[in-house]
Amino acid sequence: MQADKTAADAEISQQRHYRFLGLDLIVQGSVLVPRAETELLASHAIALLRETGETAPLVIDMCCGSGNVGLAIADAVKTVTLLSADLTEDTVETAKANANLLGLSERATICRGDLFAALEGQGAEGKAAMIVSNPPYISTGRLEGESAHLLENEPREAFDGGPYGISIQQRLVREAPAFLKPGGLLLFEFGVGQERQAQSLLTRSRVFECLDFPTDEEGRPRVAVARLKDLAP
């Protein structure tokens, strides 16, 4: 019994608490700490869902990390059904713990896998009203140089966006249409100065209409908002 108590106490001591859009969240293990800047993504997603007035929207949170974005959406819009996914065991377990903490487990399913492959068997193809993502978007070179400090306490998987910082964004734009319903929305965060790359990815896909690039408090675009075109004849 004492050993069990010691192990439980050790687990609790490893949990760190953070606020995100007014929610108290935990981070445990090797998981990205929620950033205040990502509240821009979540708040715009919430506003857009409220505007649509859809009765029971399915929202997919890809690269969910601690679950902060998707769970903030599900907490704010009570009719949302949430599917969240990430690559590592630590992220999935943390997101599940936060869903339990917020009382959202009945409306939130957390899956583990490589981007949309994580959703295999969930029956979500063509059904999502919205996909949100805070993907890794820092180039590998920067992580080995000026941004190396980020890896001191947080996982490389949360930051490394490939040689140019957009590798995961490319996959997101390519794979998301299969899961969105016509007219469904894709929102994703990107790094400072990446707005032209984000717009180019969406335009070149030929299936997305760019709607907006919300800016942070310093006037810098940080989020892409796009709508899946209805290409039916």
| SS3 label, residue 218 | coil
Percent share of the chain, pLDDT over 90 = 72
Query: What average pLDDT does range 185-199 have in this prediction?
Result: 94
Query: Who contacts 23 (Cβ-Cβ below 8 Å, separation ≥6)?
Result: 68, 71, 72, 75, 102
Compute the chain's Rg from CA coordinates.
Answer: 17
Query: What average pLDDT does range 194-214 have in this prediction?
Result: 96
- Please check whether residue 81 is in contact with residue 110, taking contact to mean a CB–CB distance below 8 angstroms: no
Percent share of the chain, pLDDT over 70 = 80
Q: Mean pLDDT in the chain?
A: 87
Q: Is the pLDDT of residue 9 over 80?
A: no
Confidence of residue 149 (pLDDT cuts 50, 70, 90): low
Q: What DSSP assignment string belongs to 52-108?
A: H--SS-EEEEES-TTSHHHHHHHHHSTT-EEEEEESSHHHHHHHHHHHHHTT-TTTE
Q: Where are the domains of the chain?
A: 2-228
Q: Which of 161, 233, 230 is nearest to 198 (CA)?
A: 161
Confidence of residue 15 (pLDDT cuts 50, 70, 90): confident
So what CATH class is 2-228?
alpha beta
Query: What average pLDDT does range 201-225 have in this prediction?
Result: 96
Q: How many residues does the chain have?
A: 233
Residue that is written with structure tokens 């943390």 in the block: 94
The reported pTM is 0.88
